[in-house]
């Protein structure tokens, strides 16, 4: 981390402040300490063209879709472009974090509440945290870009929580579709960006504003109001009615929102000239509305409407300019921290644009800023019992300040509270867990508490919907498992990221800790559904009920007369006792008795850290630095006064030892247990201890840069941002607490619509009817590679009873293919002579096995040479098992036990006899190459018919339990495996296999399935039923074994009868056992949450799933579909956004194609009833022409 951070950090001292340094050394310092590192941007490393992304359906919401852009693993924020179809009504939901959005096209209506009115293109809106929205309706197709600063909760009719939608859901859905989300930090932008802006199996759909007419329409009305609702409602505004204000030459602004609490600003920007060089001290995002923006190393034409950018904190722009200054280039910008302008890298700061700058400009130019809070009596999840009247609230909302530090008469503690004087309030869902409320935001849902856990109390299954930081003040508590596992005692600071589920936390003794919650807490039931939410509103209501005055959240609120303080019984903290306070901070620095706190990356024992003197008499211990949000946590020790400064963002402080002098407070200052909140914009002429001879120590969370000077009106001396603290932390060896849990750590939901038992709604797939385009398609083949064709043909024809249907010899390519299958249910027998007719016939037979022989493999010394997919080490370079995707072939037979008697007599090797294992009545045998063949009863549902004793003498009671299936077993070579002695030189006489007699024993046998493992079942089903047009025939849920299977295929209902009703799953399963050529999609529960777009090895020289990341010699090749017209089918695939490996006219073999499914498996597309060479057309779907 040190090398990375040293490249992207703010300068703290200029080179000439290093006396004695040579010019080269000074230049080195200058190079190492600038914001923007030496890296090679690709022009859009922090952005995405949303026109190229697919729409993904929101769970639990009909007609509501989104395109995922960014999702934070740290604070739970996510950004999307959303769409509502005409007539769609959004279900009742609560925005647990705040939301801002701009309508890009179309029109939607809020029927009631604070948002009441119709919003159309150009309207920008803000909904504060914990607002409940009911009945939002799309009057026409409507698209809008949206930032969600926390999750939202879909509600049942009784307003209980039905389901949650979180940042984790966005991450999972994007991974399923193969979409690469935008990085969240500058460090991530420096890393190589993964491939994938578009999805597998879903159409990439441009936004309406990708059409210039629509884009112009969005901005069409020059300073004329077209939406009366948007000009009357204080929670949204029609941007088309606002006049441009020139903030600098050639750069116009429309200022839409300024948050005095968070420092966030939303503006529309119009560029007709370049903006000067600047640093983003906080992050920012931009959405292109019109024109084309030049962006770093991007293409000359720039980026147009629909492009969304995320500028990470610390990013630098030498210039931001339009491609054509004669053309208006307009974008929407959310700015999450100050922007620092200069005239070039290393030059002095020219000026800083903070929220206060924008507020001053907005007031001077009459912009009707959108309000940051709903009225206090509006409909929320929980309405706080407040003493504030409606008129009072309105008056407070209208207060505005245009200077940093107004003339006011502080009380000394207008922004703080002595927590020792407050009572404990018990959490209703957890006896023994109580809190003292300090602050609760009406705008963003954050709240701050001091908490206490009584000895022996255990908190179970609690979900942090926002991030959480805390420091233990006294006592000891233990996390028994998960990323937080370990014991935390006094002096330990910890951070839990958003969306994390804490399964257990237990108090070993009475324990007290100060905590910031950046979003709600959810108590969960045993099934992980939401039992109860703890929100900012709940905290507000509990405080009001007890007469506790919460700390104001903005500078404007601090200007108001503070209500009377709490007068009830006081319950002091343990650290009110000086001995306890001393124990909290005064253990010998550099030592600790808490081993877990020095090894777990998510918390640290602050007593073991050494003080670093950041300025004379001011020591720091740096605990956490967020490169994403710019928030930092430090411990501060004052033995002298700090110089004058402004808080450009807010901050909070908790006194741990000594006494701090604070504005107009009492001479003795404020001691341990006092908590302060500094609103954004606050100024300190100094911060000092009461007695410099004694250590004054406090914990500080700093939410934005601090700007130092030598007095009001003097030039900026320096700015401390997160980069300054990061540089100091690295230079002094502080073990910074991590901002994220590891990939795959416990989260509430790993996949939209899927619960933790591995279930999701399959009803729409079961009810779907065949698509006319795919009605005559056939799942014709599964290709596997074989070492010795003679041995394989002997097995498949004599042991399994299949017919050799055709042979394709391709000596020019060095391989031969043999199609084997069952034909007794075909409407005509195979041709007897002409090889071309045989090949054409085989292209119509469902469920064929294509045995592919690569010439020369027969003389390989190893008995097995191809990896079979089932945790097999064959074909690897390191000799270690592969996480294989292909599982097995499957045949259905009238009598499994009789078939297995035949296999036994034929010398076949069993992996499982019918009575062994946990699943009775089915068997597995191996072919000569080690591939697994499942034997199932034809037309039967699970549990299958059984007999007392099977072919191996195993009884029903002594067969043992389920052992995890083939995925955990190694495909060992048969005991009697032989090495082929003679080389075949690419030929041998296979005609004898055509002449084999048809044995009656094989009548009714069916090549029913090919099993492949899939990461996400929903993604796979969308592809196989949507893109390929297969039916979901049946589902087998085996939650006791941790997996579910989905049988998809093309069912010949004329031959097999009508598919049973979707509700009759047993009948559907029995029916599927009769359908030849099914694909069995196997989902191992939890795989959907694994990192990576694809997790299983597909067999084709693939390194996925290999422990050494080296390509294997895979056995499984592909699945094959036969279709009436390959070129027409490929046009369909193109429309659906499928990924092509080969279009029909590409490569050497013309007239056939290969596409990939979402897990990377190859699917061959061949013409039905045709022989090679296949029919062709002059140009294919990708524009490839025949030679």
Bond before 204 cis per omega within 30 degrees:
no
Element (H, E) at 530: strand 530-534
> Which residue among 512, 628, 850, 934 is the active-site one?
934
Q: What angle do CA 171, 173, 174 make, to 5 degrees?
A: 65
Is there a contact between 215 and 289 (Cβ–Cβ < 8 Å)? Answer: yes
- Give the Cα separation of 968 and 1042 in Å (integer): 13
Q: What are phi and psi of 607, to 5 degrees?
A: -65, -20
Query: Which of 1183, 1133, 1156 has the alpha carbon at shortest distance from 196?
Result: 1156
Beta strands in 198-301 (DSSP E): 236-238, 245-248, 251-258, 265-271, 278-280, 284-290, 293-294
CB 26 within 8 A of CB 17: no
The Cα 53–Cα 65 span in angstroms is 12
The answer to whether 101 and 120 are in contact (CB under 8 A) is no
- Establish whether the linkage from the previous residue to 943 is cis, with ω within 30° of 0: yes
5/722 Cα distance (integer angstroms)? 11
Could you give the C-alpha distances from 423 to 330, 515, 675, in angstroms and in order?
53, 16, 15
- Whether the CA torsion 210, 214, 216, 218 is positive or negative: it is negative
Measured in whole angstroms, the distance separating CA 394 from the mean position of its chain's CA atoms is 39
Q: Do the beta carbons of residue 1184 and residue 1162 sit within 8 Å?
A: no
How many Å apart are CA 625 and CA 183, to the nearest integer?
17
Task: Return the C-alpha torsion angle 309, 310, 316, 318, nearest 10.
Answer: 10
Instruction: State the Cα–Cα distance between residues 182 and 164, nearest whole angstrom.
Output: 23
Half-sphere exposure of 282 (CA within 13 A, CB side): 27
Residue 230: which of 338, 93, 370 has the closest Cα? Answer: 370
Alpha carbon distance 131, 382 (integer Å): 9
DSSP designation for 1026: I
Q: Which of 540, 539, 258 is nearest to 372 (CA)?
A: 258
Strand partners, 890: 934, 1009
What SS3 string covers 682-697? CEECCEEECCCCCCEE
- DSSP character string of 939-951: T-PSSPP--SB-T
Other residues' Cβ atoms within 10 Å of the Cβ of residue 1092? 12
Give the Cα separation of 790 and 818 in Å (integer).
11
| Residues composing the chain | 1187
Query: Nearest 5°: CA angle at 1120, between 1119 and 1121?
Result: 130
- Can you name the residues that pair with 1120 across neighbouring β-strands? 781, 1164
Residue whose C-alpha is closest to residue 453's, from 465, 480, 435, 479:
435
Of 157, 156, 197, 199, which Cα lies nearest the Cα of 57?
A: 199
589 catalytic? Reply is: no
> Could you count the other beta carbons within 10 Å of the beta carbon of residue 608?
20
Residues 618/621/627/628 CA torsion (nearest 10 deg): -100
Helices (H), 615-752: 722-731
Give the CA radius of gyration of the chain.
34
Q: Is 648 left (phi over 0), alpha (psi -120 to 50) or beta?
A: alpha
Q: Which of the residues are catalytic?
A: 934
């Amino acid at each position: 981390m040190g090398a990375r951070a040293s490249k992207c950090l703010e300068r703290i001292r200029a080179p000439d402040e290093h006396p004695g340094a040579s010019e080269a050394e000074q230049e080195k310092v200058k190079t190492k300490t600038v914001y923007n590192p030496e890296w090679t941007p690709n022009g859009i490393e922090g952005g995405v063209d949303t026109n190229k992304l697919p729409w993904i359906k929101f769970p639990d919401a009909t007609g509501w879709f989104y395109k995922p852009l960014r999702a934070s693993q740290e604070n739970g924020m996510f950004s999307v472009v959303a769409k509502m179809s005409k007539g769609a009504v959004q279900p009742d939901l609560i925005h647990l974090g705040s939301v801002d959005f701009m309508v890009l096209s179309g029109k939607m209506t809020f029927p009631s509440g604070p948002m009441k009115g119709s919003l159309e293109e150009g309207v920008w809106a803000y909904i504060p945290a914990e607002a409940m929205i009911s009945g939002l309706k799309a009057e026409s197709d409507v698209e809008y870009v949206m930032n969600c600063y926390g999750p939202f909760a879909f509600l049942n009719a009784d307003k209980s929580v039905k389901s949650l939608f979180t940042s984790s859901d966005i991450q999972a859905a994007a991974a399923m579709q193969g979409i690469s989300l935008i990085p969240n930090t500058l460090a991530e932008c420096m890393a190589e960006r993964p491939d994938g802006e578009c999805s597998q199996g879903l159409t990439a759909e441009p936004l309406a504003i990708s059409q210039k007419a629509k884009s112009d329409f969005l901005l069409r009305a020059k300073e004329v109001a077209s939406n009366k609702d948007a000009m009357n409602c204080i929670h949204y505004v029609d941007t088309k009615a606002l006049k441009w204000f020139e903030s600098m030459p050639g750069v116009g602004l429309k200022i839409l929102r300024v948050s005095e609490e968070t420092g966030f600003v939303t503006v529309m920007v119009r560029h007709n000239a370049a903006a000067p060089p600047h640093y983003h001290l906080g992050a920012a995002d931009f959405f292109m509305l019109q024109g084309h923006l030049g962006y770093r190393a991007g293409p000359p034409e720039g980026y147009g409407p629909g492009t969304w950018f995320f500028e990470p904190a610390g990013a630098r722009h030498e210039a931001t300019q339009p491609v054509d200054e004669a053309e208006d280039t307009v974008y929407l910008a959310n700015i999450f921290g100050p922007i620092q302008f200069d005239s070039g890298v290393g030059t002095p700061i020219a000026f800083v644009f903070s929220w206060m700058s924008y507020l001053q400009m907005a007031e001077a130019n009459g912009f009707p800023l959108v309000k940051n809070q709903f009225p206090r009596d509006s409909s929320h999840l929980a309405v706080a019992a407040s003493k504030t009247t409606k008129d009072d609230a309105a008056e407070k909302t209208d207060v505005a300040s245009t200077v940093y530090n107004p003339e006011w008469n502080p009380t000394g503690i207008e922004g703080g509270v002595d927590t020792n004087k407050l009572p404990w309030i018990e959490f209703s869902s957890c006896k023994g867990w109580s809190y003292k409320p300090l602050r609760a935001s009406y705008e963003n849902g954050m709240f701050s508490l001091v908490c206490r856990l009584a000895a022996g109390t255990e908190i179970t299954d609690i979900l942090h919907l926002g991030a959480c930081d805390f420091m233990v003040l006294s006592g000891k508590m233990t996390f028994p498992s998960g990323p937080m596992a370990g014991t935390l005692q006094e002096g330990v600071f910890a951070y839990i990221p958003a969306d994390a589920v804490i399964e257990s936390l237990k108090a070993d003794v009475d324990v007290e800790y100060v905590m910031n919650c950046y979003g709600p807490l959810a108590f969960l039931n045993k099934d992980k559904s939401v039992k109860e939410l703890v929100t900012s509103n709940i905290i507000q209501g509990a405080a009001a009920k007890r007469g506790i005055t919460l700390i104001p959240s903005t500078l404007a609120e601090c200007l108001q007369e503070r209500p009377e303080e709490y007068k009830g019984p006081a319950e002091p903290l343990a650290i009110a006792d000086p001995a306890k306070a001393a124990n909290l901070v005064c253990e010998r620095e550099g030592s600790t008795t808490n081993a877990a706190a020095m090894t777990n990356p998510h918390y640290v024992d602050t007593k073991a850290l050494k003080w670093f003197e950041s300025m004379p008499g001011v020591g720091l211990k740096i605990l956490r630095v967020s490169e994403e949000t710019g928030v930092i946590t430090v411990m501060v020790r004052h033995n002298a006064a700090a110089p004058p400064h402004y808080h450009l963002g807010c901050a909070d402080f908790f006194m741990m030892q000594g006494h701090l002098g604070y504005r107009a407070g009492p001479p003795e200052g404020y001691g341990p247990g006092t908590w302060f909140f500094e609103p954004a914009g606050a100024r300190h002429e100094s911060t000092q201890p009461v007695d410099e001879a004694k250590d004054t120590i406090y914990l500080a969370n700093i939410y934005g840069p601090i700007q130092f000077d030598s007095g009001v009106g003097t030039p900026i001396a320096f700015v401390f941002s997160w980069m300054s603290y990061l540089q100091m932390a690295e230079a002094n060896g502080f073990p910074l607490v991590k901002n994220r849990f590891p990939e795959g750590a416990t989260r509430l939901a790993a996949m939209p619509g899927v619960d933790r038992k591995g279930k999701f709604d399959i009803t729409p797939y079961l009810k779907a009817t065949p698509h006319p385009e795919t009605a005559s398609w056939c799942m014709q083949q599964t290709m596997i590679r074989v070492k010795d064709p003679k041995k394989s043909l002997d097995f498949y024809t004599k042991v399994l009873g299949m017919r050799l249907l055709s042979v394709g010899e391709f000596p020019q390519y060095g391989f031969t293919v043999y199609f084997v299958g069952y034909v007794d249910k075909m409407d005509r027998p195979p041709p007897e002579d002409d090889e071309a007719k045989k090949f054409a016939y085989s292209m119509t037979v469902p469920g064929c096995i294509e045995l592919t022989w690569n010439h020369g493999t027969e003389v390989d010394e190893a008995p097995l040479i191809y990896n079979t997919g089932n945790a097999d080490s064959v074909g690897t370079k390191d000799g270690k098992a592969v996480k294989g995707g292909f599982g097995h072939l499957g045949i259905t037979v009238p009598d499994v036990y009789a078939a297995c008697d035949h296999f036994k007599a034929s010398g076949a090797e069993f992996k499982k006899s019918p009575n062994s294992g946990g699943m009775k009545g089915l068997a597995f045998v191996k072919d000569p190459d080690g591939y697994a063949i499942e034997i199932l009863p034809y037309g039967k549902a699970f549990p299958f018919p059984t007999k007392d004793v099977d072919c191996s003498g195993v009884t029903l009671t002594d067969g043992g339990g389920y052992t995890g299936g083939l995925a955990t077993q190694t495909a060992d070579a048969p005991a009697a495996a032989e090495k082929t002695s003679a080389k075949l030189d690419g030929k041998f006489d296979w005609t004898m296999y055509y002449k084999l007699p048809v044995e009656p024993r094989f009548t009714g046998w069916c090549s029913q399935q090919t099993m492949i493992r899939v990461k996400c079942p929903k993604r796979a089903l969308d592809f196989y039923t949507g893109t390929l047009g297969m039916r979901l025939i049946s589902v087998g849920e085996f939650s006791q074994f941790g997996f579910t299977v989905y049988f998809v295929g093309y069912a010949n209902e004329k031959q097999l009868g009508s598919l049973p009703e979707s509700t009759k799953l047993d009948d559907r399963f029995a029916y599927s056992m009769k359908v030849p050529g099914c694909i069995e999609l196997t989902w191992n529960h939890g795989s959907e949450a694994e990192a990576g777009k694809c997790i299983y090895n597909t067999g084709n020289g693939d390194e996925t799933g290999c422990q050494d990341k080296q390509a294997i010699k895979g056995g499984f090749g592909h699945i094959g579909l036969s279709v009436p017209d390959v070129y027409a089918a490929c046009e369909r695939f193109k429309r659906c956004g499928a990924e092509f490996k080969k279009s029909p006219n590409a490569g050497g073999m013309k007239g056939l194609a290969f596409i990939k499914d979402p897990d990377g498996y190859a699917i061959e597309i061949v013409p039905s009833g045709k022989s090679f060479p296949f029919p062709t057309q002059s140009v294919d779907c990708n524009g490839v022409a025949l030679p």
